[in-house]
Amino acid sequence: MVKKKLTESQQALVDAHAAGYRVVGGKVKDGNGNQVKVIRPRKGYPFFLVDREGKSSQIMCHRMLAYQMFGQEMFRKGIVVRHLNDKKNDLRRINIRLGTAKQNRADWRRNQKNMKKVS
């Protein structure tokens, strides 16, 4: 079986993991165990920056956690990283799963219904 070439962002993620970056207890740590600054945009997903060959690369925190949990499986065609509760800042292992875009939409619909019940 021929392995497909990783995209630049996938390779950056793999390289950061190889350098020791990890998501631990919702925080990002570098290879020395130091906490890394996480950027939390108003829209979009939290990310951190790593230096790769003099260039800065953005690593999405939820994707790093998914890579820690599932490895290269997350790079399969048609697979997305899901936040089961749709809260982008929730980086608990229990909230992160792999699945299809269809499953991800189903999560969103379920969470929307649950929010309406609560209000």
Q: Return the pLDDT at 36.
A: 97
What's the pLDDT tens digit per position in 79-105? Answer: 999 999 999 999 999 999 999 999 988
Sites in the chain below the pLDDT cut of 50: none
Q: Return the pLDDT at 3.
A: 65
Instruction: Quote the tokens at residue 67.
Output: 């890579």
Q: Return the pLDDT at 119.
A: 53
Read off the pTM.
Answer: 0.88
Q: Return the pLDDT at 108.
A: 76
Indicate the fold that domain 8-118 takes in CATH.
Answer: Homing Intron 3 (I-Ppo) Encoded Endonuclease; Chain A (3.90.75)
Instruction: Quote the tokens at residue 98.
Output: 């792999």
